[in-house]
Amino acid sequence: MIQKKVCMLGAFAVGKTSLVRRFVHSMFADKYLTTVGVKIDKKQLTHSGKEVLLLLWDLYGEDEFQRVQTTYLRGSSGLFLVADGTRPDTVEKAIELRDKALASLGNVPHVLLMNKCDLSPQWEVRPERLRQLTESGWQIQRTSAKTGEGVEQAFASLTEQMLGGIPK
Amino acid sequence: MSDESNHSASPPTASASTSDEYQQLRSLLVRPERDDIDSLKRQLDERSAVDARSVAAVLPAAFSLASEQNGDLGSAMAPTIESALQTSVRRNPDVITEAIFPIIGSAITRAVHEALLRLLQQTSYALDHAFSLRGWRWRIEALATGKSFSEVVLLHSLVYRVEQVFLIHPESGLLLQHVIADSVATATGQQTQDASMVTSMLTAIQDFVRDSFRVESKAALDSVEVGDLQVWLERGPHAVLACVIRGTAPVRLRELFRRTVELCHRSHSEVLKAYSGDTDDLKGVRPYLEACLQAQQKTEQPRPFAAWFVIGVGLLVCGYFLYGSIVRERTHARRLVFAVESLRKQPGVVLLDATQKQGHFALRLLRDPEAEEVEQVLRSAGLRPEETESVVTPYLAMEPELVLRRARRALAPPDGVQLSFNITDGVLMALGTASEQWIADAKLLVRVVVGVRSFDCKVKPLPREKTLYEVLYDRARIIEAIDFRFRAGSIELLPGQESQFQKAVTELKQLLALADGDRTGMNVTVEVHAHTDTIGDELYNLKLRESRAKVMSHWLASAGIDMRRLRPVVPLQFEQERSERATSFRVIITGGINHREGAR
């Protein structure tokens, strides 16, 4: 079995925890997020016939009062950066967090999850901005915590990127 | 030309001398190096032999030195030794068997001794805790916590127990390996996969503590304590050992944990340095982690006497049941033997075989139809019918009793006849008295009795009983002897015949009653013949005869004789047998077995 640590980062209230709740196995309560600043879930999947266990570190959302504790990022093999399509500032926050994380981790695989795709008509993030990001190398996945759309694909995509470097 | 040749001859001479000098000089200058090269060349040629010799010379010392320094040599050699042992056993198991044979006996004795000691100790603990106040308190605790009673007893009896050991990747908090004590695994059913989340959270909490109190980055938690649970952490550069301990562990455990971390690093340094996330790469460290699952029990003063008492009672109960089952088995077997003996003694029964299977007896027998019923014999021997399963084949027995029974059934001798049989000459003898008919029938029937060669019938015939016909016939003769005299030319009887008439009426009534009995099939008609003398006119006489016959019939009917049975007969003169003034009777009997018309 292959184990990988994956961190989930994003601005406050972008729906990180809700996004994965239905897709992961939990043993710790949400209160850890507000107390310790992190909550750990696990996600089991199969990649190329090999069992893979993702330890998902859900880090407390960053806002003006609380900073993400970068020590939690140590040893991560991949990142999920979550943004809310209805709040353009969350995309910028995701970029900022990514830069901060890569500065300490080095270049690890990461996927930007554009959440709340069920509310597409109300999105304020312009498609041009997303296109720009894609062109600059960002991997973007549209997701919805409400419908579950795109979440499994996000796990599969990040796993693919992380295990790409492992010789078979 | 010659100059040329001289010229040409002289320089080689000079050149040769120069060359020799050069060679000498060269030899002087490089000989030592050359010798060295030659020696090295020789060594290279004999390299393998030299290597083996030199290694052999230093090997024992090297082994001692390595053993003193650390445990690496043992770890390194273990796979080779295991493989060598496997090969040896496969090739010839006798070698290893002979080698370990001298220690097998003492090893078994020791194992048995330790098992007994353990049993004694456990029984003591169970006794101590089962009925005491403390025992009841623990029972309530077990109910409240959902743990088994034995688990609660164990927890309270422990000084400490290392319940789980995690090997953790320090940076990512990923679980490298995890072992769990057997009893804990059974009690909690905890799965390794949850352990991966536990180690991640543990790492996160360490980071949290470090960040919260702004301690230096290399500083870390040594232990975490919650209630009677402690987590001891032992760090290495690429792996952290986290041991979950219940109770109060001795400090020396730290040393064991430290050595374990070192061992893990030594044996899997490359894998740990560049951990790819594949847990299979670190399976090899499990034995090291398992060695950390240590426990120590409280040394309470055991009560061997009580334990011995309980074990003794247990043995007694076992003995009682064992004895009971042996006794039952023996009784069962004895009953079969008794039944078999009884069957063997039965005349007309041949036991072919008797077996006992699945709690019941299977018998195969031959039985004469005249012999005792098999079920009856078995019941008398104490076997219930549902315990036996008999397959009986009929046959004819030649034992005298059986031949005699067969003869009795065939001949059905009356009470006055005794039958006996002599096996020697096969003679059936009959004594006593019986009807002629039985004697005649017996002589015929005896021929079909198997086993009887001849019949010696000494039965005296009984006087024959009269048949109904004969009885009727005798009575008819009495009636026919009676006649009544009339006055001349009259239908008036001569005086003094009243008693005669009464006799006639009585006889006739008896005769008719006999004949009319149930199912005799006999029919009796009484003809009343009238006679006259031959004096006078025949026509007158004829009428007189007619009158006499009718009046006699009428008188008899009046006296109670059925008129339908009376037939007045008036013969013509020439037909008269008698020429008297009288009436007489002729009784006609018809029907019945011995049908015969008329009495005379």
Q: Domain of A125: which CATH number? A: 3.40.50.300
In a domain, A136, yes or no: yes
What is the model's pLDDT at position A78? Answer: 93
Determine the residue among B166, B168, B169, B174 to mutate to test chain A binding: the one whose Cβ has the most chain A Cβ atoms within 10 Å.
B174
Q: What is the pLDDT of residue B600?
A: 37
- Retrieve residue B174's tokens: 């990923």
A55 touches chain B (CB under 8 A): yes
- Identify all chain A residues contacting B272, using CB atoms and an 8 Å cutoff: none
Report the chain A residue with the minimal C-alpha distance to residue B172. A75
User: What angle, rounded to 10 degrees, do the helices at B93-130 and B133-145 form?
Assistant: 110
- How many cross-chain Cβ pairs, A to B, lie less than 8 Å apart? 74
Backbone angles phi, psi at B266, to 5 degrees: -65, -45
Q: What is the pLDDT of residue B556?
A: 93
Whether A42 and B196 lie within 8 Å, measured CB to CB: yes
A88-105 vs A127-135: helix crossing angle, rounded to 10: 20
User: Tell me: the pLDDT tens digits for B203-243?
Assistant: 888 888 877 777 666 667 788 887 778 899 998 888 999 99
Domain-located, residue A168: no
A38: closest chain B residue by CA: B204
Q: What is the pLDDT along chain B (600 residues), one digit of tens a residue?
A: 334 444 444 444 555 667 788 888 888 888 888 888 988 888 787 766 657 777 888 888 888 888 776 667 777 788 888 889 888 888 888 888 878 877 787 788 888 887 787 777 667 666 666 667 777 888 888 888 877 777 777 777 778 889 899 999 988 899 999 998 876 766 555 455 588 888 888 888 888 887 777 766 666 778 888 777 889 999 888 899 999 998 888 888 889 999 999 989 888 888 888 888 888 888 889 999 999 998 887 766 656 677 788 888 999 999 999 998 888 878 877 878 888 888 888 889 998 888 877 667 888 999 999 998 888 888 888 888 788 888 999 999 988 999 999 999 999 999 889 999 998 899 999 999 998 889 999 999 998 899 999 999 999 988 877 888 888 899 999 999 998 999 988 899 999 999 999 999 999 999 988 888 766 778 899 999 999 888 888 888 899 999 999 999 999 999 999 999 999 998 887 777 777 888 889 999 887 654 444 433
Residue A70 lies in a domain: yes
What is the C-alpha separation between A90 and A38, in angstroms, rounded?
Answer: 19
Q: Are A81 and A10 in contact (CB under 8 A)?
A: yes
DSSP reduced 3-state for A146? coil
Residue B412 DSSP code: -
Element (H, E) at B360: strand B360-367
Inspect the interface and report whether the beta carbons of B201 and A76 lie closer than 8 Å: no
pLDDT, one tens digit for every residue, chain A (168 residues): 899 999 999 888 888 888 888 778 877 777 777 777 888 899 999 888 889 999 999 888 776 556 667 788 989 999 999 999 889 899 998 999 999 889 888 889 999 999 888 888 888 888 888 899 999 889 999 998 888 888 899 999 999 999 874 433
b/e map of B203-219 (b: 16 or more CB within 10 Å)?
bbbbbbebeeeeeeeee
Domain presence at residue A128: yes
Q: Does A69 touch chain B (CB under 8 A)?
A: yes
User: How far is B211 from chain A, CA to nearest CA, in Å?
Assistant: 8
Query: A29 at the B interface (CB within 8 A)?
Result: no
Interface touch B277/A77, C-beta < 8 Å: yes
- Residue B257 in tokens: 């944990």
Structure-token pair, residue A127: 């498609």
Cα–Cα distance, A80 to A8 (Å, whole number)? 5
A66 has a chain B CB within 8 A of its CB: no
Name residues whose C-beta falls within 8 Å of residue B352's C-beta, 6 or more positions apart in sequence.
Answer: B364, B365, B366
Question: Is residue B571 a contact partner of residue B549, using CB atoms and an 8 Å limit?
Answer: no
Residues of A in contact with B168 (CB under 8 A): none
Chain A residues within an 8 Å CB radius of B197: 27-28, 40-42, 55
**Distance from the A75 Cα atom to the nearest Cα atom in chain B, whole angstroms:** 4
- Asked if the structure places residue A69 within a domain, the reply is yes
> CA nearest B282 in A: which residue?
A1
* Closest Cβ–Cβ partner in A2, A57, A71 for B200: A57
Confirm whether A88 is domain-assigned. yes
User: Taking a C-beta distance cutoff of 8 angstroms, is the pair A15, A67 a contact?
Assistant: no
Q: How far, in Å, are B54, B119, B253, B298 from residue B122 at the CA level?
A: 57, 5, 26, 13
Element containing residue B459 per DSSP (H, E) = strand B454-461
- Looking at residue B222, the DSSP 8-state letter turns out to be -
Q: Are B96 and B81 in contact (CB under 8 A)?
A: no
The number of folded domains in chain A is: 1
Q: Give Rg (Cα) of chain B.
A: 66
Distance CA A29, CA A50 (A): 29
CB–CB contact B277 A57 (8 Å): no
CA dihedral B103, B109, B112, B113 (to 10 degrees): -120
> What is the per-residue pLDDT for B599?
39
Name which of A39, A43, A128, A142 is nearest A83 in CA terms: A142
Cα separation, A139 vs A110, in Å, equals: 7
- For residue B172, give the nearest of A5, A53, A166 by CB distance: A5
Whole-number pLDDT of residue B551: 93
CB B511 within 8 A of CB B468: no
Nearest to B272 by CA among B365, B176, B197: B176
- Domain range enclosing A19: 2-162
Residues of B within 8 A of A25 (CB-CB) are: 193
**Is residue A167 in some structural domain?**
no
> According to the model, what pLDDT value does residue B9 have?
42
pLDDT confidence of residue B596:
43
Residues B68 and B66: their CA atoms lie apart, in Å, by: 5
What are the phi and psi torsion angles at A111 (to 5°)?
A: -130, 135
Name the minimum distance, in Å, from the CA of B142 to any CA of chain A: 25
Which chain A residues contact residue B279 at CB under 8 A? Answer: 1-3
Continuous H helices in B429-497: 436-445, 468-480
Task: Say if residues A77 and A57 touch (Cβ distance below 8 Å).
Answer: no
Task: Kindly give, in sequence order, each residue whose CB lies less than 8 Å from that of residue B142, ignoring residues fewer than 6 positions away.
Answer: B148, B149, B151, B152
Which distant-in-sequence residues (6+ apart) come within 8 Å of B40 by Cβ? none
Whether A9 is covered by a domain: the verdict is yes
Helix or strand run (H / E) with residue B591: strand B582-591
pLDDT score recorded for residue B70: 62
